[in-house]
Structure 1
Amino acid sequence: MSDGVFTEKTGPPSPAVGPASAMYGNNSSGDVEIGEAGLERSLSSRHLQFIAIGGTIGTGIFIGLGNALATAGPVSLLIAFAFIGSVVFSVMVSLGEMAAFMPVAGSFTIYATRLVDPALGFSMGWMYWFSWAITYALELTAAGLIIEYWLPNLNIAVWIAVFWFIFSAVNFLPVRWFAEIEMWFSSIKVVTVMGFIIFAICVNAGVGDEGYIGFKYWHHPGPFAEYMVEGATGKFVGFWAVLVTAAFTFQGAELVGVGAGETKNPEKAIPSAIRWTFWGIFVLFLLTVFFVGINLPYDLEDLGTDATDASASPLVLIAKRAGVPVLAHIINAVLLTAVLTAANSNVYSSSRILVALGEEGLAPAFVKRTNRYGTPYVSVALCSLMGLLGFLNLSANGEKAFTWLLNISSTSAIITWAGINVCHIRFLAITKAQGIDRKGLPYRAPWQPWLSWYGLFMNTLIVLTSGFTVFIQWDTSDFFVYYISVILWVVLYAGYKLICRSKVMPLLEADVSIGKGVRYEMRA
Structure 2
Amino acid sequence: MSDKITPVAEKQAQESSSQNSLKDEENGQTGDLKRTLEARHLQMIAIGGTIGTGLFIGSGAAIAEAGPVGALIGFASVGVLVYSVMQSFAEMGTHLPVTGAFTSYATRFVDPSLGFAMGWIYWFSWACTFALELTAVGIIIHYWKPDVSDAMLITIFLVAITAANLLPVKFYGEFEFWLSMVKVITIVGFIIFAICIDAGAGKNGYLGFSTWKNPGPFAPYSLIEGNDALAKFAGFWAVMIKAGFSYQGTELVGVAAGETKNPRKNVPAAIRKTFYRILFFFVGSIFFIGLLVPYDNPELLSGSDDASASPFVIAAKLAGVKVIPDLINVVLLFVVISAANSNVYSGSRILVGLVNDGAAPKFLSKTWQNGVPFAAVLFTAAFGLLAYANLASTGSTVFNWLLNISGVAGFITWAAINLCHLQFMKALAAQGISRDSLPYKSWGQPFLSWFGLVFNILIIFTQGFEAFVPWNIVSFFTAYISLMLFVVLYIVHKLVTKSKFVNPKSADVRSGSLETDTTVWPEAVPTTLWQKMWAWLC
TM-score range, shorter chain: over 0.9
Alpha-carbon separation, structure 2, partners of 1:26 and 1:362: 29
Which structure has more relative contact order (CA 8 Å, sep 6+)? It is 1
TM-score by length of 1: 0.93
1:179 aligns with 2:173: yes
Residue of structure 2 equivalent to 1:354: 351
- Which of these residues, 148, 154, 160, is aligned with residue 154 of structure 1? 148
2:421 is matched with 424
TM alignment of 1:354-433, pairs within 5 A:
354-433=351-430
Matches within 5 A, 1:105-120: 105-120=99-114
Choose from 12, 33, 39 the match for 2:28.
33
Indicate the percent of aligned positions where both proteins have the same amino acid.
Answer: 52
Shift of 1:23: 9.6
Name the SS for the 2:28 alignment partner: strand
Name the counterpart of 2:299.
302
Q: What is the deviation of 1:48?
A: 1.1
Kept in 1: contact 2:27–2:261 (CA 8 A): no
Decide whether aligned partners of structure 1 residues 68 and 129 sit closer, same or farther in structure 2, where only a CA change above 3 A counts: same
Shift of 1:32: 5.6
1:61 aligns with 2:50: no
Aligned residues: 496
Which of 304, 316, 321 does residue 319 from structure 1 map onto? 316
1:459 is displaced (CA, Å) by 0.3
- C-alpha deviation, 1:333, in angstroms: 0.4
Cα displacement (A) at 1:24:
5.7
Instruction: After superposition, give the CA deviation of every residue in 1:180-212 in whole Å (9 maximum; x if it has no partner).
Output: 001000000010000000000011011111111
Q: Which residue of 2 aligns with 1:224?
A: 218
The answer to whether the 8 A contact 2:415-2:453 is kept is yes
Conserved? CA contact 2:95–2:514, under 8 Å: no
User: What TM-score does the superposition give when structure 2 sets the normalisation length?
Assistant: 0.90
Question: Is 1:193 aligned with 2:190?
Answer: no
Q: Is the 8 A contact 1:261 1:515 kept in 2?
A: no
Superposed CA deviations along residues 463-490 of structure 1, whole A, max 9, x for unmatched, are 1000112112111111111111111111
Q: Is the 8 A contact 1:24 1:516 kept in 2?
A: no
1:282: which partner in 2? 279
Residue aligning to 2:499: 502
Q: Distance in 1 between matches of 2:19 and 2:126?
A: 35
The alignment status of 1:168 with 2:162, answered yes or no, reads: yes
Contact preservation (8 Å) 2:96, 2:514: no
User: 2: distance between equivalents of 1:45 and 1:495?
Assistant: 39
- Which runs of 5 or more residues in structure 1 are unaligned? 1-17, 519-524
Q: CA deviation at 1:517?
A: 6.8
Asked whether the 8 Å contact 1:23–1:517 carries over to 2, the reply is no
1:107-154 alpha-carbon deviations (Å, 9 max, x no partner): 000000011100000010000000001111110110111000000011
Matched position secondary structure for 1:325: coil
Residue 339 of structure 1 corresponds to which residue in structure 2?
Answer: 336
**Of 421, 426, 433, which residue of structure 2 is paired with 1:436?**
433
Report the alpha carbon displacement of residue 514 of structure 1 after superposing the two structures with TM: 2.3
Query: Which letter maps to 1:198?
Result: I
Match of 1:258 in 2: 255
Structure 2 CA distance for partners of 1:305 and 1:23, relative to 1, 3 Å: farther
1:359 maps to amino acid:
N
Residue of structure 1 aligned with 2:88, choices 82, 94, 106: 94
Q: Which amino acid aligns with 1:120?
A: L
Structure with bigger gyration radius: 2
Amino acid aligned to 1:320: K
Structure 1 residue 396: deviation in Å?
A: 1.0
Aligned partners of 2:21, 2:350: CA distance in 1, in Å? 22
User: Counterpart of 2:407 in 1: which secondary structure?
Assistant: coil
Q: Secondary structure of the residue that 1:443 maps to in structure 2?
A: coil
Aligned to 2:43: 49
SS in 2 for 1:223: coil
- The 1-side partners of 2:282 and 2:27 are apart by 37
CA distance in 2, matches of 1:360, 1:505: 14
Are positions 1:130 and 2:130 aligned together? Answer: no
Distance 1:22 1:437 in 2: 23
